[in-house]
Amino acid sequence: MSDGIAITGAKTLPFSFTLPVVGAAGALFGLFAGTAQGATLLGVLGGAAICAALAWAALSLAGVERERAVKWGVIALFALAGLLVGRIAGAIVGALFGWFLGWFIYWIGRGRYRMFLPPYLTAGEVLWHYTFRVICGAVFVFLITPILVVMPLSFNAENFFTFTPEMLAFDPEGYSLKHYRDFFTSADWQQALRNSILIAPVATLLAVSFGTLAAIGLSSEHVPFRQAIMAVLISPMIVPLIISAAGMYFFYSRIGLQGTYLGVVLAHAALGIPFVIITVTATLVGFDRSLTRAAANLGANPVTTFRRVQMPLILPGVISGGLFAFITSFDEVVVVIFVGSANQQTLPWQMFTGLREQISPTILAVATILVCISIALLTTVEILRRRSERLRGMSPG
């Protein structure tokens, strides 16, 4: 190593580039650590200085040949610091950041960040390449953090909506399944669960039936005013939900469906139909219409052609739309408050009531269950989407 230079085989990276970048990463971590301890500025400055110093020591003193030992040393150092500040939870967070920092120092210092990029990219293009990914990652963290907070809180042994000292210390006595037991033994929660199970599947069936037929019909070029009809059918997805709920309330109250099971089912079906139309329409884009003409030439009637030829090919899109419609119905709360009655109180409605009238951590357990159900259904949607692309020849098998 020469002064101010980190040697990376065939190329060199100046410390004037490496140290500020690593220091910026340390400042970001110090921002969170310092804020948690009530010393934000000290955390930012300390994090930047410590990480920059570690980068200098790792690249100039330790060298490349001791890279693995340096990484383990950084992990141990930050784990120990986290243990002193935040006990076991702090040690875990510190070890994770130490692992990231040990990797990041050599990733930057040895120029590995350009390894998989085209060599002709300018410095500005490389900067934007990674800045865009950092922005996307920040948005993802912003969206996913509330879920990551709710799920561990559902195992709180106390009736609190905050992490107790026992939970932060990973003490087994700080965790319990009592809120899940409350959910499965409470008459009110079980009645709300039964209502959701009775409403969501029927609403999904109606949404899939009407949405699939509408998508098939609108996919034909000879249908007049296709765009206008499509806009009307998917309007429940675009119009603010409170406006749709108020409109359904006044309409259903006029025809005697307000406060009835049928009214709630029809309202949820109307909310789910746009999802079915969009997914089925996307599936029909790659559909070969010569297959239906060939079936008709062979004597098949329209129903047989749909059942034997068209439906098997668009089935992934139909199922995907049905899953989206089911999730919409199962998680919907605004419309059911306007259209339903106390007898149709669904699970989200019960959660809303619990937050408004009595703060019960059982809500966190229910939210965790709903999140797990949504993740399972969305995973199924993604599997079906990839299968549909393979069937249509849009991706390799």
Asked whether residue 63 carries a pLDDT value surpassing 80, the answer given is no
- Span of 39-48, 49-58, 124-133, 282-291 with lowest mean pLDDT: 282-291
Q: Write out the H or E segment, with its range, that includes residue 256.
A: none
- Average pLDDT, whole number, for the chain? 83
Mean pLDDT over 109-128 rounds to 85
Claim: this prediction has a pTM higher than 0.75: no
Mean pLDDT over 214-239 rounds to 84
Query: Which pLDDT score is estimated for 7?
Result: 43
Question: What tens digit of pLDDT does each residue of 352-390 get?
Answer: 887 776 677 788 888 888 888 888 888 887 887 777 667
Question: What tens digit of pLDDT does each residue of 17-36 get?
Answer: 888 888 888 888 888 777 77
Query: Which pLDDT score is estimated for 273?
Result: 93
Question: What tens digit of pLDDT does each residue of 317-342 get?
Answer: 888 889 889 988 988 889 998 998 87
Which residues lie closer than 8 Å to 372 by C-beta, 6 or more apart? none
Query: Which pLDDT score is estimated for 198?
Result: 92
- Span of 184-188, 223-227, 260-264 with lowest mean pLDDT: 223-227
C-alpha Rg value of the chain to the nearest Å: 28
Q: Which sequence spans correspond to the domains of the chain?
A: 5-116, 186-391
DSSP letter (8 states) at residue 58: I
Looking at the structure, give the CATH architecture of the domain made up of residues 186-391.
Orthogonal Bundle (1.10)
Query: Who wins on pLDDT, 391 or 383?
Result: 383
